[in-house]
């Protein structure tokens, strides 16, 4: 009768793989926590309110990276718009109905005319202000900004509905 | 001899074609560095596991564990990038996880069967380093062509030279030009041989 020998190598390999996966999972969770802390600090720093002590939530909904909600005060959304390697980042503080109260620019690639104009229009349209200067880029940029503002509004309203439901 | 040369050449072209997604995503120095280093660690991990696992484990298990090792190292590399710069991570994480499924990494995960293949394993690692350097340098070249400057600081003043180079179509054109130039040099070198 043939007796198949048990090979312990496969168990060692599987054990090593499980340890490596667990280590990767732990590292990923740690990095996510640190990243949230860093991003909420960025928001609080830019809004010049270190006492906010916001809690960060990563959303990744279109051009909305995430949301920083303080214990007391207005929620803020971080917007990241990218185009051909260039980037525009800003913080938009919103009131309870989701309309943008103020825009705090973080980074804008100043060598890109598109990003410069995006910054100007995002600030202007979100505040509902009219401007006299026009650019041929406006027709391409305005739909992006409208989309960003609508996304922020719907996210904030959804958050408020959940909060109201909890009360 | 010619068949062996042709086969090696075809493998190199297939690897380059498999690397195309990463070359397209690499449109700046910082993202090129991230993708290049991630590719290097994933490729080295896959090649090392494929070489070190005992032959009696079989080809399928070896391939599975090598790809798993590559995926785990990519995850760790992504975590390191997230710790260093969360915004860079948000830009690069989708293309980083693509690294595991590129043809060179999958090729490195295949267990070397013969003794000769095992002896040439170091060449595989060097090839991985070459691919990583290609990803990084293409990122630098595309950033230079598109913005006229190479800088990790995105706020550095610059002027646009050829903005098209930062787009995917620009990447394919640059890859085509580099490949054609490389081929012409190789032909000229072959002709000059006595």
Taking only the tens place, the pLDDT of each residue in B91-140 is: 899 899 999 999 999 988 988 877 777 777 778 888 899 999 999 999 99
Contact across the interface for B167 and A84, Cβ inside 8 Å: yes
For chain B, the domain total comes to 1
Residue A1 lies in a domain: no
What are B's interface residues with A at a Cβ cutoff of 8 A?
A: 27-28, 31, 53-54, 56-57, 61, 65, 68-69, 72, 75-76, 78-80, 82-83, 86-87, 89-91, 142-143, 146-148, 154-155, 157-160, 163, 166-167
DSSP 3-state assignment of B13?
A: helix
For chain A, the domain total comes to 1
CB-CB neighbors (< 8 A) of A112 in chain B: 160
For residue A136, give every residue at least 6 positions away whose Cβ sits within 8 Å of its Cβ, in sequence order, or none.
Answer: none
| Closest chain B CA to residue A12 | B53
Residue A26 lies in a domain: no
Can you tell me the mean pLDDT for A129-139? 78
Structural domain containing residue A56: 42-166
CA distance B58 to B113: 10
Task: For residue B13, give the nearest of B122, B185, B176, B193 by alpha carbon.
Answer: B176
Contact across the interface for A109 and B154, Cβ inside 8 Å: yes
Q: Where would I find the H helices in B53-167?
A: 59-84, 86-98, 103-108, 115-119, 121-147
Helix (H) or strand (E) holding B25: helix B2-25
Please, are residues B9 and B121 in contact by the beta-carbon 8 Å criterion?
A: no
Residue A112 lies in a domain: yes
- Cα B190 to the chain's mean position, in Å? 27
Contact across the interface for A24 and B82, Cβ inside 8 Å: no
Please, are residues A70 and A48 in contact by the beta-carbon 8 Å criterion?
A: no
Asked if pLDDT for residue A37 goes beyond 90, the answer is: yes
Asked if pLDDT for residue B8 goes beyond 70, the answer is: no
Q: Where is average pLDDT lowest: A80-94, B34-48, B68-82, B127-141?
A: A80-94
Residue A49 lies in a domain: yes
Structural domain containing residue B6: 2-192
Asked if pLDDT for residue A122 goes beyond 90, the answer is: no
Asked if pLDDT for residue B176 goes beyond 60, the answer is: yes
Q: How far A12 CA sits from the closest chain B CA (Å)?
A: 11
Does the ipTM exceed 0.85? no
Residue A95 lies in a domain: yes
Asked if pLDDT for residue B89 goes beyond 90, the answer is: yes
Residue A34 lies in a domain: no
Task: For residue B99, give the nearest of B65, B127, B71 by alpha carbon.
Answer: B71
Q: What percent of chain A shows pLDDT beyond 90?
A: 32
DSSP secondary structure letter of residue A76: E
B65 vs A17, A60, A84: nearest CB: A17
Residue A75 lies in a domain: yes
């Amino acid at each position: 009768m043939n007796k198949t020998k048990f090979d312990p190598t496969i168990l060692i390999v599987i054990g090593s793989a499980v340890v490596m996966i667990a280590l990767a999972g732990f590292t990923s969770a740690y990095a996510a926590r640190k990243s949230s802390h860093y991003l909420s600090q960025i928001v609080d720093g830019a809004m010049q309110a270190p006492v906010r002590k916001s809690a960060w939530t990563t959303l990744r909904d279109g051009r909305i990276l995430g949301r920083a909600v303080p214990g007391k005060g207005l929620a803020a959304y971080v917007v990241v718009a990218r185009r051909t390697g260039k980037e525009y980042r800003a913080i938009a503080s919103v009131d309870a109905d989701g309309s943008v109260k103020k825009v705090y620019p973080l980074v804008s690639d100043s060598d890109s005319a598109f990003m410069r104009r995006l910054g100007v229009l995002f600030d202007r349209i979100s505040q509902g202000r009219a401007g006299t200067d026009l650019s041929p880029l406006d027709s391409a940029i305005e739909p992006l900004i409208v989309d960003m503002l609508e996304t922020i509004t719907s996210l904030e309203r959804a958050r408020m509905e959940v909060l109201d439901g909890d009360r | 001899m010619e068949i062996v040369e042709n086969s090696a050449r075809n493998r190199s072209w297939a690897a380059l074609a498999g690397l195309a997604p990463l070359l397209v995503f690499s449109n700046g120095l910082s993202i090129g560095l991230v993708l290049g280093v991630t590719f290097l660690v994933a490729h080295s991990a896959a090649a090392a596991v494929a070489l070190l696992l005992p032959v009696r484990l079989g080809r399928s298990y070896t391939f599975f564990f090598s790809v798993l090792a590559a995926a785990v190292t990519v995850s760790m590399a992504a975590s390191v990038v997230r710790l260093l710069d969360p915004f860079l991570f948000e830009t690069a994480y989708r293309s980083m996880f693509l690294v595991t499924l590129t043809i060179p990494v999958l090729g490195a995960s295949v267990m070397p069967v013969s003794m000769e293949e095992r002896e040439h394993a170091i060449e595989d690692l060097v090839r991985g380093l070459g691919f990583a350097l290609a990803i990084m340098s293409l990122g630098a070249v595309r950033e230079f062509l598109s913005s006229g400057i190479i800088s990790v600081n995105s706020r550095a003043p610059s002027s646009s030279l050829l903005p098209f180079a930062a787009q995917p179509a620009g990447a394919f054109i640059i890859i085509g030009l580099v490949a054609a130039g490389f081929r012409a040099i190789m032909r000229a070198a072959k002709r000059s041989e006595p």
